[in-house]
Structure 1
Amino acid sequence: MTEQDHPEAVAHEGHRFAWIWAVPIAALAIVGYLAFQQLSQGGPSVTVVFPTAGGLKANDTKVKYEGMEVGSVSKVALQSDLHTVKVQLSLDPELAGHLGPGTRFWIQGETPSLTNLSSLKSVISGPFIAIEPHPGDAAGSYQGLAQRPVNAYDAHVTHFALQTATLGNVSRGSVVYYHGMSVGRVADTTLETDSDQPDGGQPHGSKFRIDIMIDAPHQQLIHPGTRFWNAGPVQVAMGPNGPSLAMQSLPALVEGAIAFETPAAARHDPPAKPDTAFTLYPSQDAAEHAPGAEAVRYRVVFPAKEAGGLSQGAAVTLAGSRVGTVEDSALRWDPQAGTLAVTAAIALDPHTIALTDGAHWAADPRPQMDALLRTLIGQGLRAQLAASIPLVGGKTIALGFVPNAPAATLGAGTPPEIPTASGTDIDSLLANVGGVVGKIDAMPLDQIAAEIHDATRHIATLTADPALSRSLDHLERSMANAETITREARTQVGPALDAVRRTAREAENTVAAARRLVSTSTLAGTGPTTGSVGDTLYELSRAARSLRELADYLDRHPEALLRGKGDAR
């Protein structure tokens, strides 16, 4: 076997790069670049711990600032304590450098409202996370709030505080009205705390604090003298013109509402500063007549038996116009005098009394009001109890003039005492009514009723007697006969009256002719004796006059021919 020649192997240098790997390498480069871009240009990611999830959903719930989306929720997890929720937020790059100390996050959602239909859409879409940024670098974790803080910054609203003893139906979200227009809302309601208590400020339950937000520019309507009242309930009042009913609106009745107004005297003052505290009154009437800072205080004392029904808030009137309010009334016993009296503290509003000749009330109106009352008291002004509605209304205090009032002056003390007079018109009326009722009670009503019953029974017996019926029939027939006779006599007496009148005229003519004859004979000296002829003529004249009078009488009373003349009428 022979040795064969084999080809000699030749070594070749291989390629250092395979083009097949170019595509995946390029893809990795692009991904890396995009990741770098995302990391370098993406916004910060922060963790916020909330006391409740409140409907937050990963990859769904948004983060908003001033109504704009600035991030989203990337993760929601329950903490190990099972009481809090950790939420991971991915924020926009623009928020970098604005997550420093003081930055706050809270869960915000809309409460369904009859006055805001868009709130229904917000309820369906779910809540969002609101942010209040502050300059600085982001912290590792933040403590979130379950609802909007009262003092959250908002350039479009101004915050004020209200205090009230009764919260009523006012709640978070209740609308604040001005003349029926919505100008704000209630931000929060809390029970007041007393920071002076040794336990560090626990709620003591005496007052509620209501924080309200007024939308710009309506905060200019609120002045230091502005009055707020609860406008949610139906307001029922009894006035001189009868009962009246007022309601702000149906949504206000359901959800609660607050309204406000500024008295005319306070509208020229500068607008109130933010966070100014006001009193919330229970009704519009209470707010309108509440004593202001310029009110001047006095006291009046009434006997306890007359002052029943006088309560806080009652009106004080002067010459029929309301000028003040009863701030308090207390029952007091004087052991030395042995009397029980009611002392009422009243506040008079000087702006309800206009001054003449361009005069104005001073900043401290006490001297002017005291001088005014001293003058009027010298003229008989006294404080009297009256009824807002006669007989059924509550008691009020009327400052009126009493005729022949004993001399009196404005009493000394703090506050000064206004003299009083008892026995108002209503009290006198009630006393008279009581006297009449007493007299009626003293009457023997049972005896009178028995006598009336007997008389009625006797009358009934008499009318049932047949003899009375026959007598009445006879009387009726007699009257008919008399009427017939009178009618016939009137027809028959006519010719007789004409004859009598003719006789009377003929007699008068005869007398006249005889007088002329006598006059002629007398002048000639041939007539008879004047005396005898004159007597004859006189008698004949009387006879003619009597005939005429008889004719006139029979003309008026023809029945005299049958009944006779009778007594002269």
Structure 2
Amino acid sequence: MTDNTNHSQQADIKAARSLSAIWLVPLVALIIGGWMVYYQWANQGPEIQIEFESAEGLEAGKTKIKARNVDVGEVTQIRLKKSNDGVLVSARMNKEAEHLLNADSQFWVVSPRVSISEVSGLTTLLSGPYIELSPGQSNKTKTRFTGLEEPPVTPQGTPGLFVTLNSDDEFAYGRGDPITYKGLTVGKVEDIFFNIEERVVYYNAFIEAPYHQLVTHNTRFWNVSGVRLELKSDGISVHTGNVETLLTNGIAFGVPDNMPKGERVTERAYFDIYPDYEKASEARYKEEAHFVMLISDTVRGLNVGAPVEYRGLPVGKVKSIDMSGAELGNILNEDYRIPVLFSIQPGRVGLPDNAEGLDHVKVQTRKWIKQGLKASLQTGNLLTGAQFVELQFYPQSTQGSVERFDDYLVIPAISDEFTQITQKVSAILDKFNAIEMNKLATDTQQMVTEFTQTAKTFRQASADFSQLSEDLDTRQLTANLNRTLSQLNQLLRDYGADSQTYDGLNRTLESLNRMMRDLKPLIMQLNHTPNSLIFTGAEEDDPEPQAKEPQS
């Protein structure tokens, strides 16, 4: 049912009241909020982005960015890179840290690290990892950085000198390995780069001030890793660095003895790393003349790098043994001679270390060969058996012509005294081995048999003599001997001084003396006139010499 009642009443219109005071509260809050937003916006630092390979240990809104252990920023967001080869960390820096964002500033994650050379980041075991900021020195700024996977060995801004070292040997170093000077650690290896084309390892190293002033153009770097035991021709040597290099690898440097210090290095320079100090010291000699000696004896114990000496003074090094490509025939031939290539360095013999000194050595050596210069292998150490080459003059065995081998001048080789003695002993042993041992054994056996037969005969003769001795009547022999002695005593008594026999013998001797006196005149006459017994006549006096009468 429709209500058609007409209402003719009209609404009452009243004037609106003024704004209520309640609206002042949100207005004030809005103003305060706007002011806070403006203040925050006006005082906040720049936003930066840091690329890392991994976000391990990092959390948005929690991980801090620190410089010298002072908070200078905070991680706000972590997301993967579009290339999926790392993460992109966004961080808001404090306003007062804006001047630290140099183009060469470095960022890395600080977390617990334990290695042979150091232990770091242990404080993060409780507080958690954080990002460390190391300000750079560049005048330019930027907001996108690439983070380091490991802390830098040397903080930026540290005074000192960067050098690049290279090595093609089989020893290698790692980041943080020490560089020492006389046992004192003065620097470290920063990073490593391997050149595939050159096949050489390059090491960027930093030497701290004030020790960087020790680096000159004559400085040499050499390996001092661990403990190195060398068996050389002059004995056994042990080389070590400091305690740190015993656990890790290490490099030492210095100017070799008897070399000038040279000019200081003021900017990055390149140096070679030598295996040891000896080779680093020998690097001063640039020129060397090469010669060959042909060895008929063994070369066991002779190594490449063995010294060449003249009267005990080093003059060169052995360069090669049994040179490849040498056409000397079959190595198994008895007359095969082993070629040994060695050098003589002009700088070691008192000549200039240049081309002029090198030519002088070559010309002079040719004259020395004609004067009897010989080369021989000598044993430097009986324990190791290491050998070296010795040069010496032997004027009694001079050589008229000069021989060449493979375009090298040949210095005649002779055997050393020990080898000569060995050869003589070998000759004696060869003669001994040449003896027919079967015949000698047969003769010896026959001699022993004859000696045994002689011994049996001797024993039989001894038995016969013993039997003969037993058969003799000892009592009868004694009685006969006593009877003979009695007869001898009786005979002696018969010829005693008081016996008749003695008196008769004296009378006979007296008669014989008288008869000899009577016959004496007759004997004298016969001596004077032997024919007086046949012819008789007056005796004539002996003629007497008369003086010549004087003439009237």
Calculate the TM-score normalised by the size of structure 2: 0.63
- What secondary structure is seen at the aligned counterpart in 2 of 1:278? strand
2:290 maps to a residue whose letter is R
Of all paired residues, the percent bearing the same amino acid is 21
> In the TM superposition, what is the alpha-carbon distance from 1:87 to its structure 2 partner?
0.8
Residue of structure 2 in register with 1:423 after alignment = 415
Residue of structure 2 in register with 1:49 after alignment = 51
Contact 1:160 1:211 in 2 (8 A): yes
Residue by residue over 1:492-550, the C-alpha shift from the partner in whole angstroms, topping out at 9 and shown as x without a partner, is xxxxxxxxxxxxxxxxxxxxxxxxxxxxxxxxxxxxxxxxxxxxxxxxxxxxxxxxxxx
Residue by residue over 1:451-485, the C-alpha shift from the partner in whole angstroms, topping out at 9 and shown as x without a partner, is 779989999999999979x99xx9xxxxxxxxxxx
2:206 maps to a residue whose letter is M
Alignment of 1:94-105 (within 5 A): 94=96, 96=98, 99=101, 105=107
Please state if 1:136 is matched with 2:137. no
> In the TM superposition, what is the alpha-carbon distance from 1:237 to its structure 2 partner?
1.8
Residue of structure 2 in register with 1:277 after alignment = 270
Quick one: distance in 2 between partners of 1:160 and 1:249? Answer: 22
1:317 maps to a residue whose letter is E
Distance 1:13 1:26, change over 3 A: closer
Quick one: distance in 1 between partners of 2:235 and 2:442? Answer: 44
Quick one: distance in 2 between partners of 1:40 and 1:215? Answer: 42
Residue of structure 2 in register with 1:346 after alignment = 343
Residue by residue over 1:348-381, the C-alpha shift from the partner in whole angstroms, topping out at 9 and shown as x without a partner, is 262x5568xxxx8789754665687578667644
Distance 1:212 1:347, change over 3 A: farther
Quick one: distance in 2 between partners of 1:231 and 1:373? Answer: 38
Residue of structure 2 in register with 1:529 after alignment = none
1:346 maps to a residue whose letter is S
**More divergent stretch after superposition (295-304 vs 250-259):** 250-259
> In the TM superposition, what is the alpha-carbon distance from 1:218 to its structure 2 partner?
1.9
Please state if 1:161 is matched with 2:164. yes
Contact 1:54 1:146 in 2 (8 A): no
Give 5+ residue unaligned stretches, structure 1: 1-8, 195-203, 475-569
Quick one: distance in 1 between partners of 2:401 and 2:30? Answer: 104
1:261 alignment partner, one of 254, 266, 275? 254
Residue by residue over 1:413-446, the C-alpha shift from the partner in whole angstroms, topping out at 9 and shown as x without a partner, is 9998473433233432332343233234334557
> In the TM superposition, what is the alpha-carbon distance from 1:320 to its structure 2 partner?
0.8
Distance 1:122 1:342, change over 3 A: farther
> In the TM superposition, what is the alpha-carbon distance from 1:300 to its structure 2 partner?
1.3
Residue of structure 2 in register with 1:177 after alignment = 180
**More divergent stretch after superposition (396-405 vs 449-458):** 449-458
1:146 maps to a residue whose letter is E
1:302 maps to a residue whose letter is M
Give 5+ residue unaligned stretches, structure 2: 1-12, 467-552
Residue of structure 1 in register with 2:224 after alignment = 231
Residue of structure 2 in register with 1:295 after alignment = 286
1:321 alignment partner, one of 313, 324, 331? 313
Alignment of 1:170-569 (within 5 A): 170-194=173-197, 206-239=199-232, 242-248=235-241, 251-272=244-265, 274-289=267-282, 291-292=283-284, 294-303=285-294, 305-306=296-297, 308-309=299-300, 310-329=302-321, 330-334=323-327, 342=339, 344-346=341-343, 348=345, 350=347, 352=348, 365-366=357-358, 380-390=372-382, 392-406=384-398, 417=409, 419-444=411-436
> In the TM superposition, what is the alpha-carbon distance from 1:97 to its structure 2 partner?
6.1
> In the TM superposition, what is the alpha-carbon distance from 1:175 to its structure 2 partner?
1.8
Distance 1:407 1:302, change over 3 A: closer
Distance 1:100 1:255, change over 3 A: closer
Residue of structure 2 in register with 1:17 after alignment = 21
Quick one: distance in 1 between partners of 2:226 and 2:440? Answer: 56
- What secondary structure is seen at the aligned counterpart in 2 of 1:172? coil
- What secondary structure is seen at the aligned counterpart in 1 of 2:326? strand
Contact 1:384 1:421 in 2 (8 A): yes
Quick one: distance in 2 between partners of 1:417 and 1:123? Answer: 70
Quick one: distance in 2 between partners of 1:104 and 1:269? Answer: 36
Contact 2:55 2:87 in 1 (8 A): yes
Distance 1:180 1:278, change over 3 A: same
1:175 maps to a residue whose letter is P
- What secondary structure is seen at the aligned counterpart in 2 of 1:404? helix
> In the TM superposition, what is the alpha-carbon distance from 1:123 to its structure 2 partner?
8.1
> In the TM superposition, what is the alpha-carbon distance from 1:226 to its structure 2 partner?
2.9
Distance 1:227 1:335, change over 3 A: same
Please state if 1:119 is matched with 2:123. no
Contact 1:169 1:232 in 2 (8 A): no
Distance 1:176 1:459, change over 3 A: farther
- What secondary structure is seen at the aligned counterpart in 2 of 1:438? helix
1:211 maps to a residue whose letter is N
> In the TM superposition, what is the alpha-carbon distance from 1:306 to its structure 2 partner?
4.5
1:91 alignment partner, one of 78, 90, 93? 93
> In the TM superposition, what is the alpha-carbon distance from 1:104 to its structure 2 partner?
5.6
Quick one: distance in 1 between partners of 2:326 and 2:432? Answer: 37
In our comparison, the structure showing a higher alpha carbon Rg is 2
Distance 1:120 1:312, change over 3 A: farther
Contact 2:153 2:176 in 1 (8 A): no
**More divergent stretch after superposition (304-313 vs 211-220):** 304-313
Quick one: distance in 1 between partners of 2:407 and 2:70? Answer: 59
> In the TM superposition, what is the alpha-carbon distance from 1:215 to its structure 2 partner?
2.0
> In the TM superposition, what is the alpha-carbon distance from 1:46 to its structure 2 partner?
0.7
1:261 maps to a residue whose letter is G
Residue by residue over 1:334-357, the C-alpha shift from the partner in whole angstroms, topping out at 9 and shown as x without a partner, is 47999765252525262x5568xx
**More divergent stretch after superposition (30-39 vs 82-91):** 30-39
2:431 maps to a residue whose letter is K
Distance 1:314 1:445, change over 3 A: same
> In the TM superposition, what is the alpha-carbon distance from 1:214 to its structure 2 partner?
1.8
Calculate the TM-score normalised by the size of structure 1: 0.61
